Structure 1
Amino acid sequence: MRIRTLCLAGAVAGLVGGLAAAVYGASNDGPAVRQTGIVVTTVEDQQAASAASGGVGFTVVGDQQEAPAADDPAYASAESGPFVEESTAGCGACGVTGSCGGLACRRSHKCGGRCGGCVYCPGEPLPLFYSSTLDAMGIRFGGWVDHGVSVVANMPADRYNGVVTFNDRDAEYQMNQLWTYLEKEIDPNRFFDIGGRVDFVYGTDARFTQAIDGLEANWDQEERFYQVALPQFYLDASLADWTFRIGHFLSPLGYEGVPAVGNFFYSHAYTHQYGEPFTHTGFLLMCDFGRLSFSAGMHRGNDQFDDTDGLNALGYLGTVGWTNAADDISVNFGISATEDGPGVETVIYTLVSIFDLTDRFTWVIQHDYGSTATYGRGRARWYGLNQYLLYEINCCLAMGARIEWFRDEDGTRVRGLGDGNRAVGPFIGDFYEITFGLNWRPHSNIIVRPEIRWDWFDQDGPGEVQPFDAGDSKDQFLFGCDMIVLF
């Protein structure tokens, strides 16, 4: 107990200290540049990051220079110079004496202000496997390993973190994702092109992403936690601004995604785990008109691959997205409507709005609503509201907060997942969670994501089983940290 308490206290102190130091460094003469890959600030970027290797790495070039004095003509020149993106030029391009040698300049003033604010900034991750033949064909192979540890203060007897996922085990190392993919992207400069993608994942997250009907459900997987999944395999065909996709693919609904590289936090929101589908099998027609985009298609059902019971009908899947002329506000709406058997109709929609309040500060607000109507038995509903506050300290470090409310009105969605999880439910009431975390990139291929999270449950009426501490507690304090290694 003492070791666990010291671990939690040290984690909180370290995270708070890191946040304080980051804020202090950003508000003084320390480096303050816009990071280019830690925070995904549009739903399109989020989906692209979820579908691709996700994230940007680092390129370390040159040495850090001393800042010119305030009365130096170079400093005055920087004040009035034009803005130059951090990764495209050194400070010499802004009219500042001397160059950062390709390093990023501070952007507290126009064109980075003082050249002395140079820091090591992102480049592309170094590929572990490279083939000139595949590269000439536009085919890319890559992936990542995501692994981490979570500790909760309650010391649950079943070693589960209640209803929190994907990092669902207490004080136990988890290799969440060994994710590999083979991809040929559509070339936007070609009038007609063919592409596609295949993804394979092994680890403790695979059991959350498997199809509930067919595909992995037919495989003999005897391991309790470490399993495999095929979250994507599809073909794309493009004609001008139109793209047709057919196969098994990740859901375009919501803000968070299944791939670790597309998310700011290690743990997942209730809206993502319990309110939205992860995958679809069917087809999708997509079109991008610049500021306006949309998609529409049909699928076999949420998280379904096959219809082995012969009871499901084709469902509808669609999205609409809009971005303003300044490219700092985007709104995206997505909906899935399915029939999961005779007289069982499920409708889920998500609405995600993203506001770039400053060059570094992003606010994301998401609303989800879902319902399942069963003939003769009424309708079950779930809905929620979650917000993300993301601040880019520099190109290596970002901090963020997630604040969420999720209501399971009829106790049909939230439950303890996993063999032996005692938080069995049903849980009728309101779930709340607040998460604070950092994204730190010490190397081009490494992302470290520490976080602290507090969950609590407001139940409608009495209940014998609670969602945390092996069914005995209504709240939970969690510290988690993972590391993603890209290849």
Structure 2
Amino acid sequence: MKRKLLFSTLALLCFGGNALAGGPSADGNYHALYQAAPGAGGQIAQVGCTDDVGCGCETPCDCDAGVCEPDCGADMIEYCDSGCDGGCDAGCGCGGGLGLFDKLGQCDLGEPFALFGQCGNLSAGGWVQMGYHTDALPLFNSRPDEFQLHQAWLWAEKAIDTSCGFDIGGRIDYIYGTDSQDTQAFGIANNHWDNDWDNGPDYGHAMPQLYLEAGYGDLSVKVGHFYTIIGWEVVTAPDNFFYSHAYTMYNSEPFTHTGALATLAVSEDVEVYGGYTLGWDSGFEDNGDSFLGGVSLALNEDISLIYATVAGRFADKGGNTEKGYMHSIVADVALTDQLQYIFQSDFLDTEDQNNRLARNTFGINQYLIYTLTDCLAAGARFEWYNVEGSVLNQTAGNESDIYALTMGVNYKPHANVIVRPEIRFDWDDDQIAGLDEGEEQTTFGIDTIFLF
């Protein structure tokens, strides 16, 4: 497995030295375009049409003449917001030069609706996610041919403000739906915290975050139950581009931790993380002793790197101990003003209480996301997932490879609504993933998220 660890590092270094650049700043969040729940944990760089990318200045439209004529004396923001009524095809507004949205209509998100809203540093909100998929994927989407409620989510937060010195805040999250049982504190077998808040075999409740946060200057510390910093995909639906999830995220990464995590902003371009947690996916009972930490680097305005790791004792479940090391490396690159590339490599190596192999997995996920307008983006994800002795492949010494290609669209007809159709292809020669169709499977899925 050392070769996989070496390959992960070399691949990232080679990519980082050869990536194209020239897009907007990578320190934002892609789903800020969707006004998703603040602090939900996404690590997606903002792409698309913003005030600082020269939108509309290159080729504003002379719609009376039926052509687009360059005129940088025009108001950039006016063209960016309103587009052209006459249907010019080249470079109108935010349409990326495809002429598509002159035919489909202008992108008008309207005013976002907030059920609770914000008052100073206090805010609350939520969303409802409902979806349908044709085949079972043992990665959250495990109920095929059923229209289901995945997430009915409520959150409340007091954000800290350290501009004037010391401040205290915190956050609480609650979820009901078919995704809840996958985000409960299932790391211990005694049904502590929210692990027995079930409603039948598939639906249930969970409280995946409940923490206090204190900060002073550039330093902040979370104490309580909170989401992991590992990986790029997250549990919260509005912070993911795709409806379905990666094998790596579901099988090789923790979802939640209980403990303390400090964040220090060393500079505008560097943040470091470090803390102690009670293992993986545990509530407020001792389930392990592990270090959680990492570093986030903004190499320039177009490229950011995140390294996050967990090391130590991950779980004591049913008398079985799991201990070891895992890391996730994420490179987030704005290739152009509208095209975003994400490279993620995960490595996990653990042993049981008898120092025998428990899990050894290695995965590479690559994402391409192209933002046409604030209303529409298209994306693709390709994953290679290698397993030995994991929850999927229990035979030590036997390695298996799973591949998955997902292509989808994010369409936003309103500031509070996201529709995510996708088609997914899975290849599993050893049939260890639990696909409905055995070795190969094609799955169509679509979900809708209503934010409030």
Aligned to 1:4: none
Quick one: which of 405, 423, 441 aligns to 1:476? Answer: 441
Quick one: which of 299, 311, 322 aligns to 1:324? Answer: 299
- Whether the 8 Å CA contact 2:409–2:421 is kept in 1: the answer is yes
Alignment of 1:20-419 (within 5 A): 39-40=30-31, 48-50=39-41, 67-68=61-62, 75-78=69-72, 84=76, 89-91=77-79, 105-106=93-94, 119-122=106-109, 125-130=112-117, 135-152=118-135, 161-163=136-138, 165-187=139-161, 189-212=163-186, 213=188, 214-217=192-195, 219=196, 221-288=198-265, 289-307=267-285, 312-325=287-300, 327-339=301-313, 340-341=315-316, 344-379=322-357, 380-410=359-389, 412-414=390-392
- Whether the 8 Å CA contact 2:381–2:407 is kept in 1: the answer is yes
Q: TM-score, normalised by structure 1?
A: 0.71
CA deviation map 1:186-219 (0-9, x unaligned): 22533222211100000000000010232112x3
Cα distance between partner residues in 2 of 1:124 and 1:315: 44
Cα distance between partner residues in 2 of 1:399 and 1:435: 11
Task: Specify the code of the residue in structure 1 equivalent to 2:203.
Answer: Y
- Cα distance, 1:123–1:232 mapped onto 2, change above 3 Å: farther
CA deviation map 1:392-423 (0-9, x unaligned): 0111000000000011112x2238xxxxxxxx
Task: Specify the code of the residue in structure 1 equivalent to 2:310.
Answer: S
Give the structure with higher Rg (CA).
1
Indicate the SS of the match to 1:207. Answer: helix
- The structural deviation recorded for 1:151 is 0.6
Indicate the SS of the match to 2:385. Answer: strand
- Cα distance, 1:181–1:55 mapped onto 2, change above 3 Å: farther
| Structure richer in helix, relative to its length | 1
- Whether the 8 Å CA contact 1:47–1:252 is kept in 2: the answer is no
CA deviation map 1:290-314 (0-9, x unaligned): 1011110000001111446xxx442
CA deviation map 1:126-172 (0-9, x unaligned): 10234xxxx444211100000010013xxxxxxxx143x22211101
Cα distance between partner residues in 2 of 1:278 and 1:186: 24
Cα distance between partner residues in 2 of 1:396 and 1:385: 29
Of 474-483 and 179-188, the range deviating more from structure 2: 179-188
- Whether the 8 Å CA contact 2:95–2:372 is kept in 1: the answer is no
Indicate the SS of the match to 1:408. Answer: strand
| Structure richer in strand, relative to its length | 2
Q: TM-score, normalised by structure 2?
A: 0.77
- The structural deviation recorded for 1:386 is 0.7
Task: Specify the code of the residue in structure 2 equivalent to 1:189.
Answer: S
Q: CA RMSD in A?
A: 3.8
- The structural deviation recorded for 1:47 is 8.8
- Cα distance, 1:70–1:349 mapped onto 2, change above 3 Å: farther
- The structural deviation recorded for 1:385 is 0.4
- Cα distance, 1:425–1:222 mapped onto 2, change above 3 Å: farther
Which 5+ residue runs of structure 1 have no aligned equivalent? 1-32, 57-65, 97-103, 153-160, 416-423
Identical aligned residues as a percent: 33
Q: How many residues align?
A: 391
- Whether the 8 Å CA contact 1:47–1:257 is kept in 2: the answer is no
Cα distance between partner residues in 2 of 1:51 and 1:123: 24
Indicate the SS of the match to 2:198. Answer: coil
Task: Specify the code of the residue in structure 2 equivalent to 1:128.
Answer: L
Of 199-208 and 234-243, the range deviating more from structure 2: 234-243
CA deviation map 1:321-346 (0-9, x unaligned): 10123x11000000011313487413
- Whether the 8 Å CA contact 1:40–1:46 is kept in 2: the answer is no
- Whether the 8 Å CA contact 1:275–1:413 is kept in 2: the answer is no
Of 184-193 and 430-439, the range deviating more from structure 2: 184-193
Q: Is the aligned partner of 1:446 residue 2:417? A: yes
- The structural deviation recorded for 1:106 is 3.5
